[in-house]
Amino acid sequence: MGLSTRSARLRACVIRVCTLPILRSFRDLASRGGPAIARVYAALVYVASLALLYGAAVLTGTRAREAFIFVFLPGIICAVLALFIWTGHRSAMILAFAVAVGLELIMAANDLASWSSFLVLPIVFGLLTILGLAAAPPAAARAPARVADEVYAAVVYFAALLAVFMAPFNHSRQLGLQTVALCALAAGIVLGMLSVLIWRGRIWAMVAAFALSLAYWLVLGNMNPLLLRSPGFALAPLVSGALTIVCVAIQISAKRAAARASSSAPASE
């Protein structure tokens, strides 16, 4: 009896000694890499939202079109949650994990054979949620961006979601679904990255967003010349161009005002 008790205590001590360094390294990783974890998590949630929106669009042309809403809604929710996860909101991390679990349960309930199709989402999101909750609270925010930059960034962000969702309808006959999937995912990722840079006031990102919207309009026009005459399809380059001009003009005016203030300060002293 005493021998078994001693062996149990020895086993517990060995387990404690082996797990303590792992737990400490896990805690250090979470506390030091809090912002990086949040941004990696936000990027993965955003990419997942693009894939879900594309899948929802494809479902509308199949026999399973009734399941469209069960894929579309999680895609929209993930796209919104990615914005809050990027800034370190822990509630958004938990909600993203809950959406991934709900999506997996829906898939398992509808088709038990394909239960593992979305299993990677709750596993990865769950791990990142644990890391995000263990991380230190986010530091104080930097100076807020200009309102015009924020508006432009939001327009580009949601335009990326719309472009990915509409890609199967606009290009599937010309390019095929597999090629469209790669192009749509690449376009969504690029536009999502540009929206972050536009939020930070990068002029070159604003010009790049306008160039991409113009190129997209021209490509669609070459596929279907009637679209060149459609005001709706011309809206993207027009809005992007106008916002680029407004944001650049505001930045130039602010820089000139700051230069005047700095040059007049020594003279007044």
Per-residue pLDDT of the chain (269 residues; tens, 9 = 90+): 454 555 555 445 544 444 444 445 445 544 555 678 888 999 999 999 998 888 888 888 777 777 778 888 888 999 999 988 988 888 888 989 988 888 888 777 776 666 666 788 889 999 988 888 887 665 555 555 578 888 899 889 988 888 888 878 766 666 666 777 777 788 888 989 999 999 888 999 999 999 988 887 887 777 777 767 777 777 888 889 999 999 989 888 888 887 787 777 555 45
- Taking alpha carbons only, the member of 51, 190, 39 closest to residue 118 is 51
3-state DSSP of 19-36:
HHHHHHHHHHHHHHCHHH
Q: Where are the alpha helices (DSSP H) in 111-226?
A: 120-134, 147-175, 177-199, 203-223
What is the C-alpha to C-alpha distance for residues 245 and 141, in angstroms, rounded to an integer? 27
Decide: helix, strand or coil at residue 116: coil
Q: What is the pTM of this model?
A: 0.73
Q: From 9, 196, 162, 170, select the one nearest 75 (Cα to Cα).
A: 162
CA–CA distance, 234 with 116 (Å, rounded to integer): 42
